[in-house]
Chain A
Amino acid sequence: MVDPRMLTEPVQPPYAAEGGGLRRLAAELWDHLWPWSRSGFRHPRTQLRALQGAGLALALAVSVVWVLAAAGRLEAGAVIGWWFGWSVFEVIVRLGAKPYVKEGPWWGRRYRAASLMDMLCYVGFKNLLMGAALFLALKSFGLLVV
């Protein structure tokens, strides 16, 4: 029976049952930063596993982009382009590996299955904040020129 209190089916990510506040927060932080999962890599569908691997490679490339930006060897436009590209890929990776989003307040423990739109909203918003933070940090150190 459908639970009408949530837009999609409730799910429990592996770390949701973890007890302590700090430990759970750390697990959640890791969840935000690491879009891959073991289940994603062990998925019976080869395509999904390949996607996970490609995502890992792309993430490495994007990390290099940020390092290059920090070294002052990349223009702002290139960094934004790469970050946008990675964000699109992260949506696909997460839909395979961690297909859930939080329901309700950030301090709560309710999660639900993510639709494509949910994941777009989640990754878009998260990466906007992360990108802006990194971007501003590099700018404030004078490493990135706009």
Chain B
Amino acid sequence: MPFQTDRTMMIPQALRGLLLLAALLFAAPLVRADAYEAKLPAELNTAPRLCDYVPCAEVLPGATIFSERKGRPFYVEGYVEEGNGRRLAGYVMLSTDITDIPAYSGKPVVTLIGMDANGRFTGSRILKHSEPILLLGIPESALVRFNQQYLGKFVGDNIEIGQSRPEEDIIGLDAISGATVTVIAQNQVMMSSGAAVARQVGILERTMRPQARLLETGATPDWATLATEGSVKKLTVAPEQVGLPRAAQPFIELWYGYLNQPDVGRAVLGEAGWQNLLARLKPGEHAIFVIRSDGKESFKGSGFVRGGLYDRVQVRQGQDAFTFRDLDYLNLYGLAAAGAPRFDESAIFIIRSDAFSAAYPWKFTFLGNRVDRETGTRSFANFDSEYWLPAHYLDGGRPEVKKPAPPWLRVWQTRRYEIAAFAALLIAVAVVYARRDRLTRAATRNNKWPVNGFKYSFWLISIGFVGFHLMAQPSITQVLTWFHALLFQWRWELFLTDPFIFLFWIFIVATVFLWGRGLFCGWLCPFGSLSELLYKTGGWVGLKRFQFKLPKVWHHRLKWVKYGVFGGLLAVSVFSMGLAEMLAEVEPFKTTFLVGLFNRSWPYTLFAASLLGLSIFTERPFCKYLCPLGASLAMPTTFRWFGLKRKSECSSCKACAVGCGSQAIDEHGRIDQRECLHCLDCMVLYTDDHACPPLVHERKRRGKAGLPLTPIGANGYYIPIKPVPAAATANAATANAASGIAPQS
């Protein structure tokens, strides 16, 4: 059976070819994504000898001896061997020992950071990240290069993403185009990790705050009053917050409060207890109490040994962290306040630092571990609650506190002019489209510039300013991220960090419900604009004879593909957001605008270039048949409020349908709003009495009958001429004569 044998041989060959092509497509970018979801040693987060598991010498060059983890938060000391002795070279820290700031993916970028003994960064190494953009969109080396910008910079400098502003003493770092959220988070990780260790080891001075002048009112509030006024606060950690199954009992429930304040101290400890405490406190020392009222987890920690640190609780004020050793601990046997909760673990901790001031807000922090329910890996997590002594216990009340602006706000502030320009663009597009009737009436089939002048201008702005400059190309990945954020964890900061995308989506949502997806897709999408501009340019430069539309039957088959792509991505995202983001490379947006056609591996460049090349010959092939973003917007477009106008004659006339570039008008003259891209060509014809057949017919009829041409009404027809009865005319003339009004000559 040679024939059969040949066929069976052919199939594996074809499969091999496909697999090879797939491998080429995906392998090139993946080989550089070493740290994406890298499997880290289980001991990494707990082992005393951190440097046995990670390359500490790489981030602290010259150091050959490394200590065990020490301090709180943890760090490692690195030493250089010199003769018989050794010299402190600097410090190495694991970012997740210090902060749990999430990046774009919602997970932290695990970074090993080196800092010399003078507080200058000496190196960093990304051990693990979950950023999809760095898996496929942007090479991981971009993040490595970003981190290299910290080399030699002092940990106490004001380092921000963006341009340097010497007048404000701010050092700017170059961002990674298209990964703004990731680098803003990474900057926070680098700076907060470095600062936390630098403060512990004395490189950075603690902020000195004026001490509180406490007022004594003589009152003895009960527990409920203390809780209501905020003198005692509760911190509850639920099991699910640390990755454990949900349960009725909290993981831990703690109450805490500031004892130096006389009224609070007396109420909580009783007169004798408070006096006893005061006798133990030296000037500049502060006491807080902590009790566990529920839960089984110990806040003192089971691993605590004499001389060590209480590693599960901490007080933070501003950038300063205050930890407790055994000498900072006093027993607390009971609470005097009426109505105080029962407790089974208690402590009084002493803060021995002038830098702490009860006049300013501070945070009580419970330091724990969160177990990832999918992978079982543990990561550092902290849970805190803010405490600020009530104003009536402070002489002069609470001082004014300026909280540092969050990173997203800094982005909005530093890019305010671009944001204003972008917002103006969005408003201009909406206003122009809202007044489309006026524009389409001014245009004719042979002169569409009253409409196209605006549209082409918006395309150019969209491509140049929005696409290449702002890189604000909306993407299906944002839809997936929003969908997941809505269900799982909504973080406003994540969306606010990119102001252009944020504003764009407000525009998109509003206009989709008003007019349908066509306004965004047809007038403002950078890739769509580029695609159609190429098509128009192709026509203008003499390629019109090569330009084509797909036959209707094929168009109506292929238009469903984009819905399939969208549905597939949505389904995949439920199981793996990372995989969905990889597959979202079906959008050539990153290649075109974010990374650049010549900065990506060739399969992506080839794909994007092919689509753009095809766009010269057929109008918007990607938008019509592949775009998952377009599909996701087309679905709610079904319920858009205001559609385009039609006449009853449109059911038999094909004038608009023939010229419809998006092939959205069917054989009955009906417009499929999901496919319409609002080119407005049909609306130009609608009121053109030399192009719209019903109007042409009426114009000719009136011309032959010697009737005047009245204006075209909102319904697309000439306003009808209604003859006034002769009797009525005579009556009117009589009335005019009686009132002395002379007829016009």
Contacts and interface: CB of A to CB of B under 8 A. Distances in A.
Interface of A: 1-8, 72, 76, 80, 101-102, 104-106, 117-118, 120-122, 124-125, 132, 135-136, 142, 145-146
B729 to A, nearest CB: 38
Contacts of A102: 639
B375 to A, nearest CB: 16
Interface string B127-145: 0000000000000000000
A121 B639 contact: yes
B639 A146 contact: no
A7 B645 CA distance: 12
Specify the main secondary structure of chain B where it touches its partner: loop
Interface in B622-661: 635-636, 638-639, 641-643, 645-648, 650-651
Q: In the complex, which range does the number of interface residues on chain B fall in?
A: 20 to 34
Contacts of A2: 651, 668-670
Nearest to B489: A146
B643 A72 contact: no
Nearest to B645: A5
Contacts of A105: 641-642
Interface stretch (B351-359, B435-443, B671-679): B671-679
13 contacts: A4-B648, A7-B673, A8-B670, A72-B246, A76-B488, A80-B574, A104-B641, A117-B563, A121-B638, A121-B674, A124-B635, A145-B245, A145-B246
Contact of A146 (B487, B668, B671): B487
A4 B642 contact: no
Given A2-B651, A122-B639, A146-B487, 6 more contacts: A1-B648, A4-B650, A5-B670, A7-B673, A132-B487, A142-B238
Contacts of B574: 80
B372 interface: no
B396 to A, nearest CB: 39
B297 interface: no
A5 B646 contact: yes
A1 B651 contact: yes
A87 B673 CA distance: 23
B237 to A, nearest CB: 13
Contacts of B563: 117
Interface of B: 238, 240, 245-246, 486-489, 563, 574, 635-636, 638-639, 641-643, 645-648, 650-651, 668-674
A121 B512 CA distance: 14
Contacts of B488: 76, 146
B452 to A, nearest CB: 25
Contacts of B245: 145
Top 7 closest pairs, chain A to chain B, by CB? A4-B669, A105-B641, A4-B650, A121-B638, A2-B668, A121-B635, A4-B646
Nearest to A101: B638
A125 B668 contact: no
A135 B574 CA distance: 15
Contacts, number: 71
Contacts of A125: 635-636, 638-639
Nearest to B487: A135
A21 B472 CA distance: 42
A3 B651 contact: yes
Nearest to B248: A72
B85 to A, nearest CB: 54
A104 to B, nearest CB: 6
Contacts of A121: 635-636, 638-639, 674
B641 A132 contact: no
A63 B742 CA distance: 80
A104 B636 contact: no
A8 B651 CA distance: 12
B31 to A, nearest CB: 33
Contacts of A8: 670
A6 B240 CA distance: 50
A145 B641 CA distance: 37
Interface-centre pick from B240, B639, B674 (highest chain A CB count, 10 A): B639
A121 B637 CA distance: 9
A7 B641 contact: no
A7 B670 contact: yes
Interface-centre pick from A2, A8, A132 (highest chain B CB count, 10 A): A2
A122 B669 contact: no
Nearest to B637: A121
Nearest to B673: A7
B486 A7 contact: no
Contacts of A101: 638-639
B246 A117 contact: no
Nearest to B649: A4
Contacts of A106: 639, 641
Contacts of A7: 670-673
A4 B668 contact: yes
Contact of B643 (A3, A104, A136, A142): A104
A80 B648 CA distance: 45
A73 to B, nearest CB: 10
Contacts of B639: 101-102, 106, 121-122, 125
A146 B668 CA distance: 49
A47 B487 CA distance: 36
Nearest to A5: B646
Interface-centre pick from A1, A7, A102, A105 (highest chain B CB count, 10 A): A7
A76 to B, nearest CB: 7
Nearest to A79: B487
A76 B487 contact: yes
B658 to A, nearest CB: 15
Contact of B670 (A1, A4, A76, A118): A4
A120 B634 CA distance: 12
